[in-house]
Structure 1
């Protein structure tokens, strides 16, 4: 059973409409988070091995120089780049989801005040719509946290290898 692109677009817009404007914010944050994570993985698999080879060549050619320390610091900064922003986005997604739940519950209580409390289905549908942004925010945060943890651990190991003379050469060979 394959869905067409048009069907997927319809489902996405219906989902965003159901959750309100907060789901649009969460979707934008998720897009930013995914793009930053992809950039970090690009750095990890493509750019870092090239940069690290340059450092190991410098270490082999010059036993000690200030250029080595400068290169190590530059690589250290590149390893940490965007990780703090990714961490902030991960923390922000559930909070924005909770904002959506609070605004959704306000709408539910407003409709209850106007229509009365006799219709339990109306109330259940409103509460369901109100909790949707929290679920989406938590899902994005869990997704981001899994990949952030992997990248942060790799970055820490790579940073440790930078300042160990033997580790720098061994780490370059194992990458």
Structure 2
């Protein structure tokens, strides 16, 4: 393996570093973007139940906010439940944008690796071919062993760049789709939360029906 890397020339170093970075990002995103971590099951219903029962104090609300990205959105809605509908919606959307920014973390880097790695391989191919033609100019084509180094450099760097780029592109597309799906689910949950908060607010503001006079 070391001989292959050595034959690929100095451009193998950035390609190897890109592969290590891509692997680290993929593992980190797999761990971070777990659905149970982003949107804990039953969190919305439990939050609304505690709020309606008067059990949602500041400590519990802080725990919900710190527990998951979706919990941050719920906590924002709860804290702004007594404001106007438009202002509460604006605060929730602002928190949602911050959450989405965190879910997108490192994905641009992964996409850059997927785009740059083939170019590094192509650059290695160009250098290898330049080396081949330089040797041909100097000694001719009579000795194939002299030409083998340049040809190996051209082929190895191209293959290495593609081996890094293809998985990086696949995982980049996968994580983009996963983030989009999680965003849709959180948006749906936020709408349900707003409806639930509005229902509780209307219930508090509606006066009880007056009892009829006894005959």
Same-fold call, TM > 0.5?
Answer: yes
Is 1:92–2:106 an aligned residue pair?
no
In structure 1, how many angstroms separate the alpha carbons of the residues matched to 2:190 and 2:95?
16
| TM norm structure 1 | 0.76
In structure 1, how many angstroms separate the alpha carbons of the residues matched to 2:10 and 2:149?
17
Is 1:77–2:101 an aligned residue pair?
yes
Question: Which runs of no fewer than 5 residues in structure 2 stay unpaired?
Answer: 40-67, 194-215
**Residue number in structure 2 paired with 1:14:** 3
Mean alpha-carbon deviation: is it higher for 124-133 or for 152-161?
124-133
Do 1:56 and 1:168's aligned partners in 2 also have CA atoms closer than 8 Å? no
Is 1:38–2:56 an aligned residue pair?
no
| TM norm structure 2 | 0.63
Shift of 1:166: 6.4
**Residue number in structure 2 paired with 1:142:** 166
Shift of 1:23: 0.7
Question: Which runs of no fewer than 5 residues in structure 1 stay unpaired?
Answer: 1-10, 170-175
**Structure 2 matches for 1:40-119, cutoff 5 A?**
40-45=29-34, 48-49=38-39, 50-56=68-74, 59=77, 63=81, 65=88, 66-119=90-143
Shift of 1:55: 3.0
Q: Deviations over 1:13-32 (max 9, x none)?
A: 32221100001110011112
In our comparison, the structure showing a higher alpha carbon Rg is 2
Higher share of residues assigned helix = 1
